[in-house]
Amino acid sequence: MIEVRRGMFGPTGTGDTSGYGGLVQPIMLPGAASRPYGGWFDEVADGLDAALTRASVTPEEAVERVVVDRGEMTVHVRAEHLTQVTRSLRDEPGLRFELCLGVSGVHYPHETGRELHAVYHLMSITHNRRIRLEVSVPDADPHVPSLYAVYPTVDWHERETYDFFGIVFDGHPALTRIEMPDDWVGHPQRKDYPLGGIPVEYKGARTPPPDERRAYH
């Protein structure tokens, strides 16, 4: 469980009489799957285990768990082994995940010690397969190895994830903001980022909070 939401959209103490205000909904992430995973998922898991073993990496040390949910496979990887795992997935003939389609961030503020997640979508053009990798790091130490040396196309994706979530990709050749101004404070897609009611200032300009902006009727 990563969060408990109250009401339809999370409000409390609103005086809501619709019935939604009394709802309490735990937010759960799917748990680890057990073998056999089914279909080609077992081939990928076996191939990755063999490749890691040949690289003198214990699969259980590198992979936290494998989640199979809604017809998709997610491999949760420990950050310190991310580079080796992706090299194995890319280079192993039976795997050949040649393409990283993108990197995105997720913020789970209630998941203590694992608040920030970096998510990678990999595709094998050779075998026409897709899987997902996920790495979890604490908010207090949000460092993940850059995959630029393995998949150069992640360059701007890692910059965007850093910009919006504050995940630091160690080894990236130029980890700078890509959307927000260089002097912007904070990371706007984190769930603890303020949503309004305060002025926004950067580079000498000031944008007033929503309640002070001109309204047109």
Rg (CA), the chain: 21
φ, ψ (nearest 5 deg) of residue 157: -65, -40
Strands (E), the chain: 3-6, 24-27, 63-69, 72-77, 99-107, 116-124, 129-137, 143-145, 168-170, 200-202, 205-207
Domain ranges of the chain: 29-179
Question: Distance between CA 10 and CA 91 in Å, rounded?
Answer: 45
Question: Distance between CA 90 and CA 98 in Å, rounded?
Answer: 5
Q: Are 132 and 104 within 8 A, CB to CB?
A: no
* pLDDT tens for the chain, residues 1 to 217: 677 776 655 556 666 656 566 677 777 888 999 999 999 999 999 999 999 999 999 999 999 999 999 999 999 999 999 999 999 999 999 999 999 999 999 999 989 999 999 999 999 999 999 999 999 999 999 999 999 999 999 999 999 999 999 999 999 999 999 999 888 889 999 998 876 655 666 667 776 666 666 554 4
Helix (H, G, I), strand (E, B) or coil at 15: coil
The neighbour count for residue 19, using CB atoms within 10 Å, is 9
Task: Please name the residues in contact with 85: beta carbons below 8 A apart, sequence gap of 6 or more.
Answer: 48, 52, 62, 63, 75, 77, 133
CATH number belonging to domain 29-179: 3.30.460.80
Q: What are the structure tokens assigned to 89, written together?
A: 């997935």
Nearest to 85 by CA among 17, 34, 137, 132: 132
